[in-house]
Amino acid sequence: MSWWDAQSYCRKHHTDLPSIRNLEENSLVYQIHNLQAWKWIGLHRNLRSTWSDGSNSSYRNWKDNIPPTRPAWTENNCTLALSNYGWQWADKQCNSKFNFLCNGVRVKQSFRIKLSSADIDPNDPEWSEAILKQLHGKLKEKMVNNDFNLTWTKAPDGEIFHNTRKDEKQQHP
């Protein structure tokens, strides 16, 4: 796909074209996608170099450590990771068709938990943080992918937990 089509695809189905902020992330691209193909990444050179997802990073990995000398307004202003050059980068025309990479899929899951102890106030910041830490630890033990965030969702009244009775409908998700 062209860089623009690849960006649209990534935004629709995943998150965005990848921003590579350091050598580790560049190496990860190589380890995960070591097929012999050039791939679009999220760097676009317009008046200044910017990442597709809006993130900031001064890390660059230009082929032969030489940044493109073409003016940024030329047609060669989208960036490829080059498999045959250790995933170093080069500028190509944005309308050229190449394979591409997308950042991983974002999955947001919500869980509802029920506490049965009346001895604590789970909305007390110390207790809610302790419960969250314990949940995080248990999930981390059970999950293969340890790359996740766990947060509380607060109801409009600012509370995390609400008292409910079995015979009452729960009013807060």
The CATH number linked to 31 is 3.10.100.10
d(CA 165, CA 125): 23
The per-residue pLDDT for range 135-155, each reduced to its tens digit, is 888 877 776 455 567 788 888
Structural domain contains residue 48: yes
pLDDT at 159: 84
The per-residue pLDDT for range 51-102, each reduced to its tens digit, is 888 777 788 888 887 777 666 666 668 888 887 787 888 888 889 999 888 8
Whether residues 71 and 118 share a domain: the answer is: no
Round the average pLDDT of the chain to a whole number and report it. 77
Residue 167 — pLDDT band, cuts 50, 70, 90? Answer: very low
Structural domain contains residue 105: no
Whether residues 132 and 96 share a domain: the answer is: no
pLDDT at 27: 77
- Least Cα distance to 31 among 100, 91, 83 occurs for 83
pLDDT at 6: 93
Whether residues 90 and 133 share a domain: the answer is: no
Whether residues 95 and 117 share a domain: the answer is: no
pLDDT at 169: 47
Domains identified in the chain, total number: 2
Across 47-51, 55-59, 157-161, 162-166, least confident range: 162-166
Whether residues 7 and 84 share a domain: the answer is: yes
Whether residues 12 and 52 share a domain: the answer is: yes
d(CA 73, CA 87): 24
Asked which of 75, 100, 125 is the last residue of a domain, the reply is 100
Which residue range(s) make up the domain with 122?
A: 110-173
Whether residues 75 and 153 share a domain: the answer is: no
Sign for the pseudo-dihedral over CA of 80, 3, 72, 43: negative
Residues paired with residue 78 on neighbouring β-strands, in sequence order: 44, 92
Whether residues 115 and 90 share a domain: the answer is: no
Whether residues 131 and 59 share a domain: the answer is: no
Whether residues 122 and 85 share a domain: the answer is: no
pLDDT surpassing 90 at residue 2: yes
- Least Cα distance to 106 among 145, 57, 54 occurs for 145
Asked which of 76, 100, 124 is the last residue of a domain, the reply is 100
Asked which of 45, 80, 100 is the last residue of a domain, the reply is 100
Mean pLDDT computed over 102-108: 64
Structural domain contains residue 66: yes
pLDDT at 146: 55
pLDDT at 34: 55
